[in-house]
Structure formats: C-alpha cells, structure tokens
Amino acid sequence: MTIQALGERIATVNDILCSLGVLVWDSRTMMPSGGAVSRGFQIATLTRTARDLLASDDTLRLVESAEREAAKLPADALDREAVRQVREAVEAHRRVPGDVIERRAAVRARANAAWIEARARDDFSTFRPYLQETVANTREYADALGWTGHRYDALLRLYEPGETLERLRRLFAELRAGLKPILAAARARPNGAGAILHRTFPVETQRDVALGLARTLGYDLSRGRLDGTVHPFEISFTREDVRITTRYNETFLRPALFGAMHETGHALYEQNVDPAFSRTVFATDLLGLYAVGGTSFGAHESQSRLWENHVGRSLAFWRLQFPALKERFPEALGDVTAERFYEAVTTVEPGLIRTDADELTYDFHIMLRVDIEAALIGGEMEVDDVPEAWRKAMKDGLGLDVPNDRLGCLQDIHWSSGMIGSFCTYTIGNVMAAQLFEAALASDDAIAAGLEKGDYAPLAGWLRENVWRHGRSRSREQILVAATGRGLETGPYLRYLAGKYGA
C-alpha cells in the first residue's frame, strides 16, 4: 500500500519533470524571443516544486514506510530497487541546503551571460570571476552531496552514477595509449574527401533526408517529431513523446545527417523503455531532476554514438543509402560515389573545436576538459591557470597550438551552465557503444546480415532487449555485465577504431 502511495508521489514528480521538459523544448524551438524571462521563472518554479515535493518530510515518511514493506519482498524485486533509488535521491536532496541551490541557480544565470560576452570578445578575464564563483559554488554543492574518494566524484554521480575520478583516470590512460598510434596512422593517409560535404545542399531537402534517416533507423514518428535548432538535442516527456532536433547548414551537409542519426540513437533508447516504467523512478532522474529513461548520461551517449558512428558512419550504410541521397542532391553529389562519400564522413583531422571533432580526436577534447575541471574542483588548479593548462594539453594531446581562448577554454557552454562533471559521459558513451556493438554482432549473425541489407531491426531488437527496455532499473555497469559479460572496458573501442582508421 505505501509502495503504491510512494509510486503515486513519484508519478507526480515525473509529470512535473516531463512538463519541465516541454518548457525546455519549447524554449529552444518555438518560443518567441520575448518569452525568455517569463520562461526562466516557469522553469525555476517547476524545478523547485519537484525538488520540494521530493525532499519533503511527507515523502521521507512514505519512503520509510515503503522500505518496511519492501523488506518483505524477494531480494530481486523491482519494487525494492525502486524504493532504494527514491531513498537515495530524497536523502541527497535533503542534504543540500536551500541557499546552496539558490546560489547555484543565481551563479549559473550570471556566469552564462558573462561567458557569452567573454567568448564574443575573446576575453577570458571577463569570465574568470564567474568561473571562480561557479567553481566555489560547485565545490560547496559537491560537499553537501557528500563524497569519499575525490570531491569530483560527487559531481560524477549526477551524470554517471557509480563512476569515480580514479576509474576515469585509468580509462583515460588506456585510451591515450591506444588512440595515439591509430591517429598517427590515419593522419598518414589523408583522403581529401571532406570538401564534398561543403557544397550546396538546399535546407528543405536536408530536412526530408534527415527525417528519412531517422525513420530508417527505427524512430517512431507517431511518438516523436524532428525540428531544426542551432544545437541539436533529444528530449522526452515519457516514452510516448520523444522529440529530436538537428541543425541545417546549406553549405555543410554533415551536421543535419549525423546530427539526426545521433539524436535518433538517443530517441530510440527513450522510445523503447519498458512501458511499465512510465511515470516511475525507472524513467526519472530524481537526483538531476529531469524525466529520462536512460540509466546514465554515458549509457545514453552510447546509443547516440552507436547509431551515429557504428551504423551511420559505415561503408555498408552508405552503399545502401547513398544512391537515394544522390538523387535528392543531384547537383552537389552527381560526381560522388558511395565509397567517396564514406571517406568524406570519416575524414580525420585534428582541430581545436570539440563539436567539430572526428571519431579519433574527440576523446582527447574530453580528457583534457575532465582533467582540468577535476583539478579545479579538487583545488589542485586555480581558475587563473585554466587557459595555460588548456594550451598545454592541446599541444600534448593533438599537437595543436591554441591561438586564442575563444578557440580554447571559452568554447563550451558547460562550465557556465554549472554542468561540471558531465564531460566524461561523452567518452564513456564512445567506449560503451563499441562494447555493446561488438557484443551484439557476436551474439547473432542476423545483426550483421541486417546491417548489410539495410534491416536495422535485428540490431534494434538486441539493444531493446539488453539495454533500452531496462530504463533506469539497472545501472550502466549492470547493463554492460549482463549484455557483454564485462564492465566498461576500452578493448572493443580501440579494436573498432583500429579496424576503421588504423594502418
């Protein structure tokens, strides 16, 4: 009875967080510019309402009573895990004082405005005091949440539960060692095909093609829609309404197509969570306060990267899809073959900007950021030292000189948005994608056969069974161990990259 009552409480929280998602989606796609200030109030109010409901004495009493009931259930009962997750989130929220949260929101608003200005003027000193304030506030937030190994671990928990800085450092060491020779080999064979993607591609046609690719990969449009935005994203308001966006640039085809496939990967995860989990803790990030079915940011990224890179950035894929693409863009692609198009979308070229990075250099951008932000949070580096640390890491990692901070430490929105701790999930996603993809191919020959003939249902079926349907009822590591027999490991990822880009 109390487990049920607690479930109703969580359903209410989920409804509020789904509503919050609608506000966010609308603000990025449909809202007139004048609505921004009011929308800020609305988003803050719904966030606070969800948090207060969750952290209330009344909810805590429900949890305590539900725990007594759950103790009588079998050890592997889902209800036990549900109550455990609610308890953990309720306690975490109750540990963070209201004034820390308010400061966090206030700092974020100021820091974001300062970052926009600093980036426009290429002036780190404009952003410096706000980054200092952000770091200070994030430290107090981490301390309130609690940690044992490194203060950064408290933040990792928000995005990648169970992850620690110590583990990440081991992962990064393996990646750095493994990636360098592959990168060197790839750079020794420049293909010069990238320019193909910079011809003229009418935006209306790009839209049709992007939607067609999403549908081809299995995106259910009766429970979704595709819009255009500057920064592509996926967002869900229960599994029954999962929306994606992509970016259209008339003289650069890659963002629209690969943005759509990337976000489709995220969307497939959300659309295929067990329907029984809708409006439960297994479809809600109670700690981060948003409605999501994926079990961690890294696990989510594994699905977007799997569909974008392992499926979409493959020769088999373009041998099948390129003829139709060529028909849609006869002028731009008339002289191009599927093989050449594949070369264009797998060009390797180290650069300064993370969001433009190819498969081989992307993780260097991530590792550099994680190292810096962990040191800031741990107090091992000062904000003043960030630009120089960035330059040094870029030189060491990719051999590039950073001419200014706009192309360096001012390029990302994350720090000004208080999202310290989230960067690692991009690399975790890359590593996990390869591990799952390798296991899927090994488990059933029909999956590889399907990819060769454009039937993506066998792969989707395997992912649905092993990843998607579980929602947040299993952790990332539980999913990996059950699906691949091992926890997160770099082997499959390095094998995949070596096979695709190596000597």
Which of 206, 201, 207 has the alpha carbon at shortest distance from 330?
201
Q: What is the dihedral of CA 81, 84, 89, 95, to 10 degrees?
A: -160
Check binding of 465 to a copy of itself (CB under 8 A). no
Q: Which is nearer to a copy of itself, 11 or 381 (CB)?
A: 11
Q: Which is nearer to a copy of itself, 73 or 221 (CB)?
A: 221
Check binding of 441 to a copy of itself (CB under 8 A). no
Instruction: Return the residues of window 291-310 that contact a copy of itself according to CB under 8 A.
Output: none
Which of 7, 4, 467, 5 has the alpha carbon at shortest distance from 280?
7
User: For a copy of itself, which residue of 138, 238, 416, 425 counts as binding (CB under 8 A)?
Assistant: 238
Check binding of 222 to a copy of itself (CB under 8 A). yes
Write down the residue that tokens 């229960």 correspond to.
238
Active site residue 64: no
Give the nearest distance from C-beta 237 to a copy of itself in angstroms: 6
Check binding of 42 to a copy of itself (CB under 8 A). yes
φ and ψ at 360, to 5 degrees? -85, -25
Q: What x/- string results for residues 248 through 287 when contact with a copy of itself is judged by CB under 8 A?
A: ------------------------------xx--------
DSSP code string of 88-147: HHHHHHHHS-HHHHHHHHHHHHHHHHHHHHHHHHT-HHHHHHHHHHHHHHHHHHHHHH--
Give the nearest distance from C-beta 33 to a copy of itself in angstroms: 6
Write down the residue that tokens 């429900």 correspond to.
62
User: For a copy of itself, which residue of 4, 26, 125, 452 counts as binding (CB under 8 A)?
Assistant: 26
Which residue out of 160, 163, 234, 263 is catalytically annotated?
263
Q: Residue 149, CB half-sphere, CA atoms under 13 Å: how many?
A: 14
Check binding of 44 to a copy of itself (CB under 8 A). yes
Alpha-carbon distance of 486 to 81, in angstroms, equals: 22
DSSP code string of 448-494: HHHHHHT--HHHHHHHHHHTGGGTTSS-HHHHHHHHHSSSS-SHHHH
Check binding of 246 to a copy of itself (CB under 8 A). no
DSSP code string of 319-378: HHHHHHHHHHSHHHHTT--HHHHHHHHT-----S-GGG--TTTHHHHHHHHHHHHHHHHH
Check binding of 211 to a copy of itself (CB under 8 A). no
Check binding of 34 to a copy of itself (CB under 8 A). yes
Check binding of 205 to a copy of itself (CB under 8 A). no
Write down the residue that tokens 């949890």 correspond to.
63
Give the nearest distance from C-beta 283 to a copy of itself in angstroms: 10
Q: Which is nearer to a copy of itself, 18 or 118 (CB)?
A: 18
Spacing of C-alpha 366 from chain mean position: 12
Give the nearest distance from C-beta 280 to a copy of itself in angstroms: 12
Which residues of the chain form contacts with a copy of itself (CB under 8 A)? 11-12, 15-16, 18-20, 22-23, 26, 30-35, 37-39, 41-42, 44-46, 49, 220-225, 237-238, 240-241, 243, 278-279
Positions marked catalytic: 263
